């Protein structure tokens, strides 16, 4: 009877360990994704961010790869570097609902069109200015 109880206990312990490991990996995945997201939003290289928070580039690369944990101090340094609260680095990214995604897509399309229009206006303005200067100074 004791052998059966011990076997059951071992099975339960193994299941709990697997669940804990899975939860731990999920948190690491959220953390690494958020660090990359905020770093890229601020146009920081790994080297620049690591220098800013006084850690090695290799350590930051390991964090972003999900290979290592960070201390609360490093979490706070990262948050300050990104000008956010530390908990935001541990928040899972919420997938937009279909309505939000449609609005996001429309906004992106509007920005693309605006960018193309602005580029065209600037190009025409520069072309006119160059033509005027050429005419004014009799340049071929």
Reading phi first (left if > 0) and then psi (alpha if -120 to 50, else beta), residue 94 is in: beta
Domain ranges of the chain: 1-93, 95-140
Q: Please name the helix (run of DSSP H) or strand (run of DSSP E) that holds residue 120, with its range, or none.
A: helix 98-136
**Grouped pLDDT means (10 residues each) for the chain, 140 residues:** 60 56 85 94 95 96 92 95 94 77 81 82 85 83
Return the pLDDT at 74. Answer: 96
Return the pLDDT at 124. Answer: 86
CB neighbour class for 52 (10 Å; exposed up to 12, middle 13-18, buried from 19): middle
Return the pLDDT at 38. Answer: 94
Q: 1-93: what CATH class?
A: mainly alpha
| pTM for the full predicted model | 0.56
User: CA-to-CA distance for 106 and 101, rounded, in angstroms?
Assistant: 9
Return the pLDDT at 117. Answer: 81
Return the pLDDT at 102. Answer: 80
User: CA-to-CA distance for 97 and 103, rounded, in angstroms?
Assistant: 10
Return the pLDDT at 3. Answer: 63
Return the pLDDT at 138. Answer: 83
């Amino acid at each position: 009877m004791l052998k059966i109880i011990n076997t059951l206990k071992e099975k339960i312990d193994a299941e709990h360990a697997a669940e804990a490991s899975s939860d731990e990996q999920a948190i690491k995945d959220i953390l690494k994704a958020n660090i990359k997201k905020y770093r890229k939003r601020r146009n920081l290289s790994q080297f620049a961010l690591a220098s800013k928070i006084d850690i090695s580039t290799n350590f930051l690369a390991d964090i972003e790869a999900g290979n290592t944990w960070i201390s609360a101090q490093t979490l706070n340094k990262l948050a300050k570097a990104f000008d956010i609260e530390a908990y935001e680095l541990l928040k899972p990214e919420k997938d937009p609902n279909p309505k939000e995604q449609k609005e996001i897509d429309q906004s992106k399309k509007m920005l693309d069109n605006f960018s193309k229009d602005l580029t065209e206006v600037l190009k025409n303005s520069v072309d006119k200015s160059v033509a005027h200067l050429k005419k004014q100074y009799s340049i071929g």
